[in-house]
Structure 1
Amino acid sequence: MKTELTDTTSSRVNSALVAARRAIGSPTTGMVLTLLVVTDEENAYDAVRAASEASRQHPCRIIAVIKRSAHRPRRLRETRLDAELRVGSDAGAGEIVLLRLHGDLAGEAGPVVLPLLLPDAPVVAWWPADAPVDTARDELGALAQRRITDAYAVADPLGALATRAAAYAPGDTDLAWTRLTPWRSLLAAALDQRPVPVTGAVVESEVENPSAELLARWLEHRLDTPVRRVVTEGPVITRVRLVTAEGEIRVDRPEGALATLAVPGRPDRRVALKIRTTAELIAEELRRLDADETYAHALRQPVSQH
């Protein structure tokens, strides 16, 4: 069920949500959190679709805040709130509220969103592209226990990591880090199979890949050894090598969904290591709402000379 409201208010949006739920007999009791998606019109469709797919694992109210402040003189800007509500089969496993904030209202999103949050439920904020410098102090980020950015989606990914490190607050995370979960799990399992000291490491990836940089920093922090970065044609991370006295522990994924794991003294084996969708990444992040201290350590690890 879809409902559109033009030049409306938060109070009217709330009333329309209640009416829509009653019309289809859908309660809010099954929803476990509110997911704020802060975006622009260009990225809104893909972001809302990914959030809706993720909500099938974590039923939630998705509030997409789409700021449409026009580049016009202040006296000519039209300030209003338009909303689109989706409930039932049109909204995945929860509810979707699209809020289009026009004119000066785009700079005052907090008071608009606050009345629409699910009561007594956690709030997660996600910026699919351009995020504020300090998400924890942002008016919408301050409402959230968990704040998700994506360094891969900006023009200067490594610069974005530096910005995130300087402004880090517990609850911050980045999808560049989430993309590493299979890599980190595989490397940790390989070291469990062959628990030998690592004396050096190499991470190979496409140029300026933020996930590769975070992986290198994580390895430096955990192994207390320098990690060399090597640029390849990609895509994304293509190989990780851990140097030991017994030989290299190596993960190769030149392309596709399968990688080759090589451990000294054992036969090589093929392992699944696919590039996951944005929906899968968001679903993973919604599984944990506590501070990710491992990410914090990797993010703030001093960058070695390489």
Structure 2
Amino acid sequence: MTSFMLTDTTAGKISGQLTRLRHQMGVPAIGMVLTLVVICDERDQYDSVRAATEAAREHPSRILVVINRERDESNRLDAELRVGESAPGEVVVLRLYGELTEHADSVVSPLLLPDTPVVAWWPGEAPDVPAEDPIGTLAQRRITDAKAAREGIRALAGRAKGYAPGDTDLAWARLTPWRSLLAAAFDQPVGRVKKGFVDGAAGNTSAPLLAAWLADRLGAPVKTADSAGPGLTSVRLSLDGGEVAVTRSDARLATLSRPGQPDRHVALARRSTAELLAEELRRLDPDETYEAALKRLARTHKG
């Protein structure tokens, strides 16, 4: 990997230096499929860059990391450029000072790859309406993570008001294996669902979202309850003739139970942020199923 630092620079100088580094490394820009803009704090940048870089192994990207620093300093833009095998595509860490912190979009815009999708990701605190954020307006896909919010469930429910096609949250991506397993449980008729329960660690943002999805799909009331965790621990659906249940106690394996059939053990491991991000980068079109679940959550949320 080649790394290069630019202090008190401009977007034009950054773009020119990227071109020179690519020529030196023999790395073409045409292999990159999207621009991923990561908006984070300094304390989160290491983990965020690592997750984005790992996701880029599946989706070669230009990764632009936007870090707003001291606003009371004079205007300045510092940049760290990384190009090479250990960083698929390109990584540009942008540190903004002074009034530039209010105009990050003007710094990012000239660095976007032409004719490719733009994805914005907030690994920490995110705007209430991502689509109206200056960076969010540049993106076709906007990824938040309610888990990082002070009151994650309230933040997730609140985003339903300003939802725009292209919005998503990693709380939803965490549910993909659960939703797939539960859908498979209904491959064969099991009867009408009367009610359901989703158990998860206190404050888990995925639990009420899963409950909202199940209620929307099954047309039955589904409630949440706290458990010892970690994460989601069980889903129980009461039927006319028994119960469909998925229970997970060790964050790796789960047991699927259905009426009249033997219990089945299935893999249901918790996934890393990089895996969740890679999943979201596979889909750049609007997710109508997420929209429906989010809006149902907002209608039933009492917080």
| TM-score, normalized by the shorter chain, greater than 0.5 | yes
State how 1:177-196 maps to structure 2 within 5 Å: 177-196=172-191
Gaps of 5+ in 1: none
Do structure 1's residue 207 and structure 2's residue 202 form an aligned pair?
Answer: yes
Q: 1:41 maps to which residue?
A: 42
1:269 is matched with 264
Q: 1:158 maps to which residue?
A: 153
After superposition, the C-alpha distances for 1:73-120 in whole angstroms (9 at most, x for unaligned) are x4xx221000000001241x2110100001211111011000000000
Does the Cα contact within 8 Å between 2:52 and 2:274 map onto a contact in 1? yes
User: In the alignment, what sits opposite 2:122?
Assistant: 127
Task: Kindly indicate whether residue 64 of structure 2 is the aligned counterpart of residue 63 of structure 1.
Answer: yes
1:125-158: CA deviations, max 9, x gaps?
0000111111101110000000000001111011
Q: Which residue of 2 aligns with 1:18?
A: 19
Note if contact 2:36-2:61 (Cα within 8 Å) is conserved in structure 1.
yes
Cα distance, 1:305 vs structure 2 = 7.5
Of the three residues 90, 102, 113, the one matched with 1:107 is 102
What amino acid maps onto 1:78 in structure 2? S
Q: How many residues align?
A: 300
Structure 2: how far apart are the matches of 1:110 and 1:304? 33
The amino acid that maps onto 1:81 is: L
Cα RMSD for the two superposed structures: 1.3
Query: 1 CA distance for matches of 2:108 and 2:34?
Result: 14
Task: Look up the SS of the partner of 1:22 in the other structure.
Answer: helix
For structure 2, the 5+ residue unaligned runs are none
CA distance in structure 1 between the aligned counterparts of 2:201 and 2:28, rounded to whole angstroms: 47
Does residue 296 in structure 1 map to residue 297 in structure 2? no
Contact kept? 2:190, 2:239, Cα under 8 Å: no
CA–CA distance in structure 2, aligned partners of residues 271 and 78 of structure 1: 56
**How far apart are the structure 2 equivalents of 1:4 and 1:89?**
18
Rounded Cα–Cα distance in structure 2 between residues aligned with 1:69 and 1:305: 37
Alpha-carbon distance between aligned partners in 2 of 1:281 and 1:168, rounded to the nearest angstrom: 20
Q: C-alpha distance in 1, partners of 2:190/2:239? A: 10
2: CA distance, partners of 1:170 / 1:143: 13
- Displacement of 1:69: 2.7
**Structure 1 counterpart SS, 2:124:** coil
Aligned-residue sequence identity (percent) comes to 56
- Which residue identity lines up with residue 255 of structure 1 in the other structure? D
Any idea what the Cα deviations from partners look like across 1:173-223, whole Å, max 9, x if unmatched?
A: 000011000000000000113442111111011112110010000011111
User: Residue 2 of structure 1 contacts residue 90 of structure 1 at CA under 8 Å; is this kept in 2?
Assistant: no
Alpha-carbon separation, structure 2, partners of 1:202 and 1:162: 19
Aligned to 1:86: 82
Task: Judge conservation of contact 1:69–1:104 (CA < 8 Å) in 2.
Answer: no
Preserved contact between residue 230 and residue 251 of structure 2 (Cα < 8 Å): no
Distance 2:120 2:205 in 1: 21
